[in-house]
A and B are shown apart, each in its own frame.
Chain A
């Protein structure tokens, strides 16, 4: 059956489905058959715009890098697209360049700072040296120098700090000791510098002396050599002149020539010696000059005179050397003239000899010795030649005479030029020497002046120091007086103050003491009174407490019930209450107001009453129709029937005012039930009190019990309220 149903359902479903696709396909076909071109048009247009947008973006990004960066930032994965289309952005190269640039400047900065640092170091050293130099060893002005040094240190320190380079170990170490212990350091430095100066001085003087000695030796040697050369030259020229002019017999001539040759050799030798000596002297002089320059470069005052002396020596040596050299040169020029003359003569002789030999080939060179060997032809030829030669010479002579003047002028000119040149050279050398002398003189004067000024300055400084110390002493004395006076004044005022304060404190203490005593006495009195009152109050409180306790006991006694059993008799509790309030009328009255039954027998609890009521409610209902007039058995039967057939609410809230309809027993019972369920025994009792007839007789006992309970409870609550009130009254409010 189920399968049949399913089959039927499937069939219907299939039918339905078959119907719907047909319709939908028809619809689709209807749609597609109509506007195919429209959709494709739309799609194509959309694709076109999209591609053009992308292409345009790519092109613009290629052109504008900022735009590309913006797009890459805002649109995710666009950087992939751009990298694909355009390649990586060229902006990647820029950060690298920037890094390089950043790397370079720090290194350049380092170099610059290092250079500046070395400069600073030098400056510091110089600055340290210069104040050390200028201040006298007596350190009369250590403060100023320290200040100067410190200022310079500060200045120098600022610049290294601003340059953010790790400071060199030397300069801070050099600067900080200056700042920390200036005096000691200054003196130490001064001493050290003096020592250094001394050493340098000693060394410089030693070197100067050495070089002076060596140069002097060499110069002397050179001078000696030059003079020797001069001598040799003069001798040689003299000999040459003699040889040229003197007509002496041939033996002597040969001896002369030998002497001449010897002299020549001597001369050349001497000249060579002289030149070497000169070179050596120049060398040593050059070295001396360099040493002098070096020592000048040291810039120490004490070196100056030595340097000056050395320079003077040098100058004099140079002057002497130059003089001798000029002498030698003049001698040499003379010798040259003489040699030229001798050469000319020799040449003439040679020529004549040649002529003669050309004429008379067989005649030998030594024609002067030949007297008889010549033939007449030879002699004639010789004489003719001699005549011719004489004519020629006469002609030449005449020519010479004619041209004498010109030649003389030319020679004069030549001589003038040479003289000019020589003059100039001499003038120059002389000028140089004079300049040198003047400079040396100046330097000497300068040195002297400097010494004088230094001495003066020292005296001035000493005077100033003395004046300063005097002034300082005076000032100190004055300050001492002032300070002492001030201190004494302060002391006296403070003493006075202290005394007054002491007296004040004493007085205050006394006053305080008396005050305290008074207050203590008053307090003691007060305390005694308070204690007395407390005792009274405590008594009261104790009584109240007792009353309260007894009332609580009574209350507790009320609560000691089982269901359907009354409480314990309240007699003892009531007795206790009465005992605890035998001076209190109100409480007594209340305590005696307790009903007798409760005292003797106890009262029922509300719960038991409630239960009892619930049980007797049905009975009351059953006899609802029975009263004085209707009380036959038939009535009983009728009332039983009524109770069986009548249904009322189990519990119904009683109205605030009872009307006549509400006096129906059933209603009353339901009201009473409600009241009982809600804990209102009083109202329930009141309601039950309205019952009449047999119903009333049935619930009579319950009512009396309820009345009893209510009474007792009322009394007990009053008593407990009273006890609470009394207890509260007796407690001391904080």
Chain B
């Protein structure tokens, strides 16, 4: 159902966001711990990167319908 698509997308977004945030956070923590002497900047960097990636992914997912892909262009 078309009305469920958005929900699904949002779910994916959220899930993806959570994962990416978590991963970034984790990597940041790891890097912060391992490589950057427990500075907070890698954590925030990592979570920020993760969040940004999740945002971008979500946005891309949400607008994917409106973007003509290369294959469709080629088909036209």
Chain A residues close to B by CB (< 8 Å)? 612, 615-616, 619-620, 623, 626-628, 631-633, 636, 694, 697-702
Q: With both chains docked as a complex, state the minimum distance between the C-beta of B15 and any C-beta of chain A, in angstroms.
A: 15
For residue B7, which residues in chain A have a CB less than 8 angstroms away from its CB? 619
The answer to whether A698 and B59 touch across the interface, beta carbons within 8 angstroms, is no
Can you spell out 18 A-B residue pairs with CB atoms less than 8 angstroms apart?
A: A612-B3, A615-B3, A619-B3, A619-B6, A626-B62, A631-B62, A631-B63, A631-B66, A632-B63, A633-B55, A636-B62, A698-B2, A698-B3, A698-B5, A699-B2, A700-B2, A702-B2, A702-B3
The answer to whether A697 and B63 touch across the interface, beta carbons within 8 angstroms, is no
Q: How far is the CA of A698 from the CA of B55 in the complex (A)?
A: 22
The answer to whether B55 and A697 touch across the interface, beta carbons within 8 angstroms, is no
Q: With both chains docked as a complex, state the minimum distance between the C-beta of A116 and any C-beta of chain B, in angstroms.
A: 127
The answer to whether A623 and B6 touch across the interface, beta carbons within 8 angstroms, is yes
Q: With both chains docked as a complex, state the minimum distance between the C-beta of A519 and any C-beta of chain B, in angstroms.
A: 75
Which residues of B4-60 are within 8 A (CB) of A? 5-7, 55, 58-59
Inter-chain pairs besides A619-B7, A633-B62, 5 sampled, C-beta below 8 Å? A612-B3, A626-B62, A627-B66, A698-B6, A699-B3
The answer to whether B58 and A633 touch across the interface, beta carbons within 8 angstroms, is yes
A-B pairs, 3 with minimum CB distance = A701-B2, A631-B63, A616-B3
Q: With both chains docked as a complex, state the minimum distance between the C-beta of A713 and any C-beta of chain B, in angstroms.
A: 21
For residue B63, which residues in chain A have a CB less than 8 angstroms away from its CB? 631-632
Q: How far is the CA of A697 from the CA of B62 in the complex (A)?
A: 12
Q: How far is the CA of A632 from the CA of B56 in the complex (A)?
A: 9
Helix, strand, loop or mixed for chain A's interface? helix
Q: With both chains docked as a complex, state the minimum distance between the C-beta of B10 and any C-beta of chain A, in angstroms.
A: 9
For residue B66, which residues in chain A have a CB less than 8 angstroms away from its CB? 627-628, 631
Q: With both chains docked as a complex, state the minimum distance between the C-beta of B28 and any C-beta of chain A, in angstroms.
A: 23
For residue B58, which residues in chain A have a CB less than 8 angstroms away from its CB? 633
For residue B1, which residues in chain A have a CB less than 8 angstroms away from its CB? 701-702
Question: Does B70 touch A at the CB level, under 8 Å?
Answer: no
Q: How far is the CA of A632 from the CA of B60 in the complex (A)?
A: 8
Pick the most buried of A620, A627, A697: most chain B CB atoms within 10 A of its CB: A697
Tell me how many residue pairs across A and B have CB atoms closer than 8 Å.
38
The listed residue (A615, A626, A628, A697) touching B2 by CB distance below 8 A is: A697
Q: With both chains docked as a complex, state the minimum distance between the C-beta of B3 and any C-beta of chain A, in angstroms.
A: 4
For residue B62, which residues in chain A have a CB less than 8 angstroms away from its CB? 626, 631, 633, 636
Question: Does B65 touch A at the CB level, under 8 Å?
Answer: yes
Q: With both chains docked as a complex, state the minimum distance between the C-beta of B54 and any C-beta of chain A, in angstroms.
A: 10
If A628-B66, A631-B66 touch, whether A701 touches B3 (CB-CB below 8 Å) is: yes
The answer to whether B59 and A632 touch across the interface, beta carbons within 8 angstroms, is yes
Q: With both chains docked as a complex, state the minimum distance between the C-beta of A430 and any C-beta of chain B, in angstroms.
A: 176
Chain B residues close to A by CB (< 8 Å)? 1-3, 5-7, 55, 58-59, 62-63, 65-66
Q: How far is the CA of A702 from the CA of B2 in the complex (A)?
A: 8
Q: With both chains docked as a complex, state the minimum distance between the C-beta of B60 and any C-beta of chain A, in angstroms.
A: 10
For residue A701, which residues in chain B have a CB less than 8 angstroms away from its CB? 1-3
Q: How far is the CA of A700 from the CA of B5 in the complex (A)?
A: 11
Q: How far is the CA of A612 from the CA of B1 in the complex (A)?
A: 11
For residue A623, which residues in chain B have a CB less than 8 angstroms away from its CB? 6
Q: With both chains docked as a complex, state the minimum distance between the C-beta of B21 and any C-beta of chain A, in angstroms.
A: 15
Residue of B nearest to A633 (CB): B59
Q: With both chains docked as a complex, state the minimum distance between the C-beta of B32 and any C-beta of chain A, in angstroms.
A: 28
Q: How far is the CA of A615 from the CA of B6 in the complex (A)?
A: 14
Q: With both chains docked as a complex, state the minimum distance between the C-beta of A612 and any C-beta of chain B, in angstroms.
A: 8
Q: How far is the CA of A284 from the CA of B59 in the complex (A)?
A: 183
Residue of A nearest to B10 (CB): A636
For residue B3, which residues in chain A have a CB less than 8 angstroms away from its CB? 612, 615-616, 619-620, 698-699, 701-702
For residue B6, which residues in chain A have a CB less than 8 angstroms away from its CB? 619, 623, 694, 698
Q: How far is the CA of A702 from the CA of B63 in the complex (A)?
A: 21
Q: With both chains docked as a complex, state the minimum distance between the C-beta of B19 and any C-beta of chain A, in angstroms.
A: 17
For residue A697, which residues in chain B have a CB less than 8 angstroms away from its CB? 2, 5, 65
For residue B55, which residues in chain A have a CB less than 8 angstroms away from its CB? 633
For residue A633, which residues in chain B have a CB less than 8 angstroms away from its CB? 55, 58-59, 62
Residue of B nearest to A696 (CB): B2
For residue A631, which residues in chain B have a CB less than 8 angstroms away from its CB? 62-63, 66
For residue B5, which residues in chain A have a CB less than 8 angstroms away from its CB? 697-698
Pick the most buried of A620, A628, A631, A700: most chain B CB atoms within 10 A of its CB: A631
Residue of A nearest to B3 (CB): A616
Q: How far is the CA of A694 from the CA of B3 in the complex (A)?
A: 10
For residue B2, which residues in chain A have a CB less than 8 angstroms away from its CB? 697-702
Residue of B nearest to A703 (CB): B2
Q: With both chains docked as a complex, state the minimum distance between the C-beta of B12 and any C-beta of chain A, in angstroms.
A: 13
Residue of B nearest to A622 (CB): B6
Q: With both chains docked as a complex, state the minimum distance between the C-beta of B61 and any C-beta of chain A, in angstroms.
A: 10
Q: How far is the CA of A633 from the CA of B53 in the complex (A)?
A: 13
Q: With both chains docked as a complex, state the minimum distance between the C-beta of A691 and any C-beta of chain B, in angstroms.
A: 12
For residue A636, which residues in chain B have a CB less than 8 angstroms away from its CB? 62
For residue A620, which residues in chain B have a CB less than 8 angstroms away from its CB? 3
Pick the most buried of A616, A633, A697: most chain B CB atoms within 10 A of its CB: A633
Residue of B nearest to A700 (CB): B2
Residue of B nearest to A617 (CB): B3
Q: How far is the CA of A619 from the CA of B3 in the complex (A)?
A: 8
Residue of B nearest to A636 (CB): B62
Q: With both chains docked as a complex, state the minimum distance between the C-beta of A695 and any C-beta of chain B, in angstroms.
A: 10
For residue B59, which residues in chain A have a CB less than 8 angstroms away from its CB? 632-633
Q: With both chains docked as a complex, state the minimum distance between the C-beta of B57 and any C-beta of chain A, in angstroms.
A: 10
Q: With both chains docked as a complex, state the minimum distance between the C-beta of B25 and any C-beta of chain A, in angstroms.
A: 21
Q: How far is the CA of A616 from the CA of B59 in the complex (A)?
A: 22
Q: How far is the CA of A293 from the CA of B58 in the complex (A)?
A: 172
Residue of A nearest to B59 (CB): A633
Pick the most buried of B1, B3, B65: most chain A CB atoms within 10 A of its CB: B3
Q: How far is the CA of A524 from the CA of B74 in the complex (A)?
A: 83
For residue A619, which residues in chain B have a CB less than 8 angstroms away from its CB? 3, 6-7
Residue of A nearest to B63 (CB): A631
Q: How far is the CA of A701 from the CA of B2 in the complex (A)?
A: 5
Q: How far is the CA of A631 from the CA of B59 in the complex (A)?
A: 8
Q: With both chains docked as a complex, state the minimum distance between the C-beta of B9 and any C-beta of chain A, in angstroms.
A: 10
Residue of B nearest to A628 (CB): B66
Q: How far is the CA of A631 from the CA of B63 in the complex (A)?
A: 6
Residue of A nearest to B55 (CB): A633
Q: How far is the CA of A631 from the CA of B9 in the complex (A)?
A: 13
